């Protein structure tokens, strides 16, 4: 199972320029999380801080009991081996063929024989759909293949945590969906903890277990996907719909005069961009048939059911609506009123009183870590409505 990452009160600035402050979130082990945020809000800085390439000013980032903000260089070096990182452009060595690129971390960080390295490299190339392309140079393949090669290389050291920065950049929508499917498939096979940074709304809506958003130097929200996907928070809603109408502007945020002028323009009929308003929670991508079930998704279901009572009502309804009859029985959720007015196809269920978190004995229930605090599972730090 992938490692848990516990981030508390993390802040980063460059000189007087605060990038973000007081970021608190937990990446649950083996779950897939996506971080959204307008350009320049410090998403890449956040990823770099998580692997110790940048040093935050304050706060903690604890992995396997080690706070990487404060630990020694030697410890940091050890912890870094838990990570696989997929950079924006794949970051392949241009003069090496794919085989040597993927073999590189193994030759650099392990004492494995070339025979063993060959076995691992071919396994990862196969996993990422690159079997047969091992002799190609990065310059001879498409952007999508380069991304997959970057992912193959990120996988060779059996990472427990995989960080991905804008996997969709430079890819067409179809290739982006293929790489999204690949993340889910890899997660099903190795149960690693994923954090993906992206602007891609489709990916954000269909891939992760958890969604977060950085905005105005803060983590606006972080929690189960259903929380952000049903949120009425203006910045979150605007971002997920890709529209001009809302608090986010060309240079990150708008002043109130701009906001009012634009409001009037949109009310007078000017198109705010984006397609039709996207509402609700679409189904999540599943592993390709034949692959194992995602253990992270199973654990997440138990986890989310435990914290269900702490979530906003629309998220709660959406989670209940997504349960199969068997899961309803398993969690003691009594169904069902007919479809809720205005939310097509959503069945409401009633929760068992008292113990929403009731989990009957089950071989797929793992104990919560002893320090888990359900009340902090949804981080919600909304700016004052009046400031938006
Ligand atoms: N090494 C650095 N020194 C000084 N400032 C930096 C450094 N790295 C990043 N920044 C600043 O931090 C801010 C956030 O940058 P970052 O690249 O993390 O944004 P981002 O959210 O990833 O944006 P995008 O979506 O466009 O990739 C920017 O203002 C950038 O100029
Ligand atoms: Mg970036």
Distances (CA, A) of 26 to 31, 36, 235: 11, 16, 22
Q: Does the residue 381 lie in any domain?
A: no
Least confident of 36-40, 41-45, 297-301: 36-40
Distance from Cα 232 to the centre of ligand 1, integer Å:
28
Q: Does the residue 204 lie in any domain?
A: yes
**Statement to judge: residues 204 and 299 lie in one domain:** no
Tell whether ligand 1 has an atom less than 6 A from the beta carbon of residue 44. Answer: yes
**Per-residue pLDDT averaged across 318-329, rounded?**
92
The closest residue, in CA terms, to atom 6 on ligand 1 is 14
Q: Does the residue 346 lie in any domain?
A: yes
Q: Does the residue 383 lie in any domain?
A: no
Tell me which DSSP letter residue 127 carries. Answer: H
Which residues partner with 215 through β-bridges? 218
Note the helical H segments in 243-294. Answer: 256-267
The tokens of 305 are what?
């059911």
The tokens of 73 are what?
């260089």
**Per-residue pLDDT averaged across 295-313, rounded?**
93
pTM for this entry: 0.82
Atom of ligand 1 nearest to the CA of 15: 4
Distances (CA, A) of 160 to 29, 30, 64, 294, 318: 9, 8, 11, 15, 30
The closest residue, in CA terms, to atom 28 on ligand 1 is 40
Atom of ligand 1 nearest to the CA of 214: 21
Q: What is the pLDDT of residues 79-116, one digit of tens each?
A: 998 999 988 766 889 899 999 999 999 998 889 999 99
**Does residue 26 carry a pLDDT above 90?**
yes
Q: Does the residue 55 lie in any domain?
A: yes
Atom of ligand 1 nearest to the CA of 54: 1
**Statement to judge: residues 194 and 140 lie in one domain:** yes
The tokens of 146 are what?
């380069």
Residue 14's pLDDT band (boundaries 50, 70, 90)?
very high
Count how many domains the chain has: 3
Contacts 24+ apart (CB under 8 A), 345-353: 345/321, 346/280, 346/317, 346/318, 346/321, 347/320, 347/321, 348/317, 348/320, 348/321, 349/320, 349/321, 349/323, 351/308, 351/309, 351/316, 351/320
**Statement to judge: residues 192 and 334 lie in one domain:** no
**Statement to judge: residues 45 and 109 lie in one domain:** yes
Distance from Cα 169 to the centre of ligand 2, integer Å:
10
**Statement to judge: residues 135 and 88 lie in one domain:** yes
Contact 199, 302 (CB under 8 A): no
Pocket test for ligand 1, best of 23, 43, 47 (most atoms within 8 A of CB): 43
The closest residue, in CA terms, to atom 2 on ligand 1 is 14
List the CATH number of the domain containing 48: 3.40.50.300
Q: Does the residue 281 lie in any domain?
A: no
Distance from Cα 42 to the centre of ligand 1, integer Å:
5
Tell whether ligand 1 has an atom less than 6 A from the beta carbon of residue 42. Answer: yes
The closest residue, in CA terms, to atom 17 on ligand 1 is 44
Tell whether ligand 1 has an atom less than 6 A from the beta carbon of residue 295. Answer: no
Note the helical H segments in 242-334. Answer: 256-267, 295-307, 313-321, 325-331
**Statement to judge: residues 315 and 348 lie in one domain:** yes
**Statement to judge: residues 256 and 157 lie in one domain:** no
**Statement to judge: residues 55 and 110 lie in one domain:** yes
What pLDDT, on the 0 to 100 scale, is given for residue 272? Answer: 65
Sequence-distant (≥ 6) Cβ neighbours of residue 212 within 8 angstroms: 25, 33, 34, 35, 36, 219, 220, 221, 222, 223, 228, 379
Distance separating alpha carbons of residues 145 and 171, to the nearest angstrom: 10
Which residues partner with 214 through β-bridges? 219
Contact 239, 211 (CB under 8 A): no
**Statement to judge: residues 206 and 109 lie in one domain:** yes
Range of the domain at 256: 242-272
Distance separating alpha carbons of residues 375 and 103, to the nearest angstrom: 44
**Is pLDDT larger for residue 118 or for residue 263?**
118
**Statement to judge: residues 45 and 91 lie in one domain:** yes
Q: Does the residue 165 lie in any domain?
A: yes
Tell whether ligand 1 has an atom less than 6 A from the beta carbon of residue 43. Answer: yes
Kindly identify the ligand whose nearest atom is closest to the C-alpha of 36. Answer: 1
**Statement to judge: residues 213 and 342 lie in one domain:** no
The closest residue, in CA terms, to atom 31 on ligand 1 is 40
**Statement to judge: residues 258 and 197 lie in one domain:** no
Q: Does the residue 16 lie in any domain?
A: yes
């Amino acid at each position: 199972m992938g490692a848990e990452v516990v981030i508390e009160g993390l802040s980063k600035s460059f000189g007087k320029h605060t990038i973000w402050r007081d970021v608190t979130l937990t990446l649950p082990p083996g779950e897939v999380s996506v971080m959204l945020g307008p350009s320049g809000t410090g998403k890449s800085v956040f990823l770099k801080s998580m692997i110790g390439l940048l040093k935050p000013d304050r706060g903690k980032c604890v992995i396997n009991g080690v706070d990487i903000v404060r630990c020694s260089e030697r410890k940091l070096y050890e912890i870094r081996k838990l990570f696989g990182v997929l950079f924006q452009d794949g970051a392949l060595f241009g003069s090496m063929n794919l085989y040597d690129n993927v073999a590189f971390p193994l030759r650099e960080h392990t004492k494995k024989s070339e025979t063993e390295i060959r076995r691992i490299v071919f396994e990862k190339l196969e996993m990422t759909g690159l079997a047969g392309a091992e002799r190609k140079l990065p310059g001879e393949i498409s952007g999508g293949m380069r991304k997959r090669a970057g992912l193959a290389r990120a996988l060779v050291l059996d990472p427990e945590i995989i960080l991905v920065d804008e996997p969709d950049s430079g890819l067409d929508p179809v290739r982006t969906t293929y790489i999204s499917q690949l993340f889910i498939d890899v997660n099903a096979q190795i149960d690693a903890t994923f954090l993906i940074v992206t602007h891609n709304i489709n990916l954000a809506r269909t891939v992760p277990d958890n969604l977060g958003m950085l905005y105005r130097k803060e983590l606006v929200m972080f929690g189960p996907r259903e929380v952000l996907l049903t949120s009425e928070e203006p910045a979150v809603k605007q971002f997920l719909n890709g529209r001009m109408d809302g608090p986010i502007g060309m240079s990150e945020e708008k002043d109130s005069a701009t906001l009012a002028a634009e409001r009037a323009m949109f009310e007078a009929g000017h198109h705010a961009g984006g397609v039709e308003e996207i509402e609700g929670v679409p189904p999540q991508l599943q592993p390709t048939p034949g692959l194992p079930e995602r253990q992270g998704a199973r654990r997440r279901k138990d986890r989310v059911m435990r914290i269900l009572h702490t979530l906003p009502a629309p998220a709660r309804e959406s989670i209940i609506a997504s349960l199969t009859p068997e899961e309803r029985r398993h969690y003691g959720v009594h169904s069902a009123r007919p479809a809720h007015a205005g939310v097509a196809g959503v069945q409401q269920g009633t929760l068992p009183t008292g113990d929403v978190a009731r989990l009957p004995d089950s071989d797929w229930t793992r104990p919560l870590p002893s320090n888990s605090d359900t009340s902090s599972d949804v981080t919600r730090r909304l700016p004052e409505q009046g400031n938006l």
